[in-house]
Chain A
């Protein structure tokens, strides 16, 4: 899952995770940003680089390049791996090499998605949801394995880079999902992302439009509100009517942007309603999951939040 910062990508990732677990899939939500936000949302004490079960069938892990490298070296190179990993020269080399951090992170994601896990004693997952960095970086991180395969050409990194790249490019294995807000910039960004992915031979499978305002008022009602505002003598009444007109305007602008998105994309598009609550706790997340289920099943309509 990818998307610009502030569009609610993490929230949607968790909601999708809840949906996965509800349908009986052993699901893990992977955070790359090193924030342990999922664990915080579930009021779980933050643990780093460990697969944590939050609810039956729903796991999370927060990963970073450093731990990914240590693990990779242990598995790949054996005992000498530890000696290499703890060498300061090697650290400096690995962490300063352009793209290496991204490669290590995506490599760990790939490992999590394997049916034969490389991590000792680890059980496989049915669904791995990756809360990827903001879109610009998102494409970068997807492209990294191939880039590395091309740079290194031979050797284990090149081999594994090619393997990971093939997995990412396989639509029966990997789906790229973008989260967007129904506003001009985020919509532009999604259209650009779809193009960028296309150039990489990848497909944007689904777009989830988050925080869509309800369309509360019909055009006729808006006319009534305008008239009422003109004759209102109550200050509180006028404020309330103005707030209504104002929201109507925003809601209209949003719908224009969603239309623009639909006309510019072939991907599936689901809408999620704006939630008038903050911060989001577990009950709200379950609501988002419900709405997401509805939105994914009926892609032409916004999912209704059942309260």
Chain B
């Protein structure tokens, strides 16, 4: 099955997985392929390699998708029937935009943007990338300018951070319990009674009073906005769970990444999120096939000096170890997938960070199963 078939009828494609597995490049290659097939596609990336960013003409500060000029894609030799757009996410800017939009008055927005707790929340804190990536995705989806959005997710420590972040931030912003806590005269405090007074004392003792004061100001500033945040969170969740969304898992064939992929797959299932399939990058394919490894040395004897033949044989052996390892790891992944497809992309000879490189990955992703097998056989034979 090809990526095109997997994404048929989809409006959102979320590429998840641990860092360092070629997620950004794969996302871009998917977007390129879908654009070639005639769709108007935007890829939202977080932190692309400089060469890839240059190749796509991405500017860091825009925070809005920009069309990748067809001339840039010309070296790929691929006919682009649709449009490819790309943007690099600016978490701080996305967060600020959101506040400006949801705040009742411009003055209130400015107060929030200047609040110390907000500034920490929107920049220093891990989770803000995750939160804003989803926020941006939601806005782009709602604006409806694109046939397909491809999201390259942030390189989280683990995939769960990414899925949890919106909820965690919402619960912080919502903080009903906390608000009651911070307004000693409010209904909450009366309801809580004396033990709360003791708690509050303890809390002051631990955190220092200023932190509480800043938080309190922050919540007062947010005021009625928290309901908008919750409503948004509910809508975002609806979008992520919708039939027109596809979660694609990107992984390498190494043990750690495969473990992570299996775990991510289970998390998606628990969260009732629509899982479409797995892309395994950098696969060492079996180059021995039915051959006999003992034969390699003999075959090389007539071809190379003994010294060089030994080196080549050793290299072959090492490669074959990796191929067997990859095969075993992928075999562990397969039973987890409920029949959803695994797309294998071979280990290419160098880093892939330009248009030609995207095209090479794209060829594997957009081939049918038979074509892919054929291409791999050609590489191997």
Measured CB to CB, the nearest residue on chain B to A231 is B303
Specify which chain A residues have a CB less than 8 angstroms from the CB of B204 in the assembled complex: 155
How far does the alpha carbon of A204 sit from the alpha carbon of B318 in the complex, in Å? Answer: 34
Specify which chain B residues have a CB less than 8 angstroms from the CB of A137 in the assembled complex: 126, 157
How far does the alpha carbon of A253 sit from the alpha carbon of B347 in the complex, in Å? Answer: 14
How many inter-chain residue pairs (CB < 8 Å) link A and B? 215
How far does the alpha carbon of A81 sit from the alpha carbon of B203 in the complex, in Å? Answer: 10
Contact B210–A153 (Cβ < 8 Å): yes
Specify which chain B residues have a CB less than 8 angstroms from the CB of A221 in the assembled complex: 308, 311
B67 shortest CB reach to chain A, Å: 25
B152 shortest CB reach to chain A, Å: 13
Measured CB to CB, the nearest residue on chain A to B168 is A96
Contact B125–A224 (Cβ < 8 Å): no
How far does the alpha carbon of A155 sit from the alpha carbon of B129 in the complex, in Å? Answer: 30
Contact A224–B50 (Cβ < 8 Å): no
A185 at the interface (CB under 8 A from B): yes
A20 at the interface (CB under 8 A from B): no
Q: Is the interface on chain A under 10, 10 to 19, 20 to 34, or 35 or more residues? A: 35 or more
Which parts of B36-70 form the interface with A (CB within 8 Å)? 49-51
Contact B171–A76 (Cβ < 8 Å): no
A157 at the interface (CB under 8 A from B): yes
Contact B295–A277 (Cβ < 8 Å): no
Interface string of B318-345 (1 = CB under 8 A from A): 1101100100010000000000000000
Q: How many residues of B contact A (CB 8 A)?
A: 79
How far does the alpha carbon of A87 sit from the alpha carbon of B313 in the complex, in Å? Answer: 65
A98 shortest CB reach to chain B, Å: 4
Given contacts A89-B199, A188-B50, A243-B315, contact A99 B125 (CB under 8 A): yes
A234 at the interface (CB under 8 A from B): yes
How far does the alpha carbon of A99 sit from the alpha carbon of B329 in the complex, in Å? Answer: 36
Contact B157–A134 (Cβ < 8 Å): yes
Specify which chain A residues have a CB less than 8 angstroms from the CB of B211 in the assembled complex: 151-153, 155, 157
Specify which chain A residues have a CB less than 8 angstroms from the CB of B257 in the assembled complex: 6
How far does the alpha carbon of A286 sit from the alpha carbon of B129 in the complex, in Å? Answer: 38
Which of B20, B51, B210 is most buried by chain A, counting CB atoms within 10 A of its CB? B20
Contact A239–B256 (Cβ < 8 Å): no
- The stretch of A53-61, A244-252, A262-270, A299-307 in contact with B is A244-252
Contact A276–B321 (Cβ < 8 Å): yes
A42 at the interface (CB under 8 A from B): no
Which parts of B283-316 form the interface with A (CB within 8 Å)? 287-288, 291, 295-296, 299-300, 303-305, 308, 311-316
Given contacts A5-B20, A152-B207, A234-B303, contact A184 B181 (CB under 8 A): no
Measured CB to CB, the nearest residue on chain A to B292 is A236
A240 shortest CB reach to chain B, Å: 4
B5 at the interface (CB under 8 A from A): no
How far does the alpha carbon of A1 sit from the alpha carbon of B202 in the complex, in Å? Answer: 35
A243 shortest CB reach to chain B, Å: 5
Which of B181, B196, B206 is most buried by chain A, counting CB atoms within 10 A of its CB? B206
Measured CB to CB, the nearest residue on chain B to A243 is B319
A22 shortest CB reach to chain B, Å: 25
B76 at the interface (CB under 8 A from A): no
Question: Which listed residue (A157, A234, A246) contacts B206, Cβ 8 A?
Answer: A157
Contact A5–B252 (Cβ < 8 Å): no
Interface string of A71-83 (1 = CB under 8 A from B): 0010011001101
Interface string of B166-205 (1 = CB under 8 A from A): 0010011001011001000000000010001011001111
Given contacts A98-B121, A240-B313, contact A276 B255 (CB under 8 A): no
A136 at the interface (CB under 8 A from B): yes
Which parts of A179-201 form the interface with B (CB within 8 Å)? 181, 183-186, 188
Specify which chain A residues have a CB less than 8 angstroms from the CB of B116 in the assembled complex: 151
A84 at the interface (CB under 8 A from B): yes
Specify which chain A residues have a CB less than 8 angstroms from the CB of B155 in the assembled complex: 4-5, 134, 136
Measured CB to CB, the nearest residue on chain A to B251 is A6
How far does the alpha carbon of A236 sit from the alpha carbon of B287 in the complex, in Å? Answer: 9
Contact B157–A5 (Cβ < 8 Å): yes
Contact A77–B312 (Cβ < 8 Å): no
Which of B129, B288, B299, B319 is most buried by chain A, counting CB atoms within 10 A of its CB? B299
Which of A90, A133, A144, A231 is most buried by chain B, counting CB atoms within 10 A of its CB? A90
How far does the alpha carbon of A190 sit from the alpha carbon of B49 in the complex, in Å? Answer: 13
Contact B21–A6 (Cβ < 8 Å): yes
* B interface residue numbers (CB < 8 A to A): 18-21, 24, 49-51, 116-117, 120-121, 124-127, 129, 154-158, 168, 171-172, 175, 177-178, 181, 192, 196, 198-199, 202-211, 214-215, 252, 254-257, 287-288, 291, 295-296, 299-300, 303-305, 308, 311-316, 318-319, 321-322, 325, 329, 349-351, 353, 380-381
* A interface residue numbers (CB < 8 A to B): 4-7, 10, 33, 73, 76-77, 80-81, 83-84, 87-90, 92-93, 96-99, 102, 133-134, 136-137, 140-141, 143-144, 147, 151-158, 181, 183-186, 188, 216-217, 221, 224-225, 228, 231-232, 234-237, 239-241, 243-244, 246-247, 249-250, 253, 276-279
- In the complex, 6 of the A-B residue pairs with CB atoms within 8 angstroms, ordered by the A residue number, are A5-B157, A6-B252, A76-B206, A134-B157, A151-B210, A185-B24
14 further contact pairs, Cβ within 8 A, besides A4-B19, A154-B209: A6-B21, A6-B254, A89-B178, A92-B177, A93-B178, A93-B203, A96-B175, A155-B205, A217-B311, A228-B304, A239-B316, A239-B381, A240-B316, A276-B322
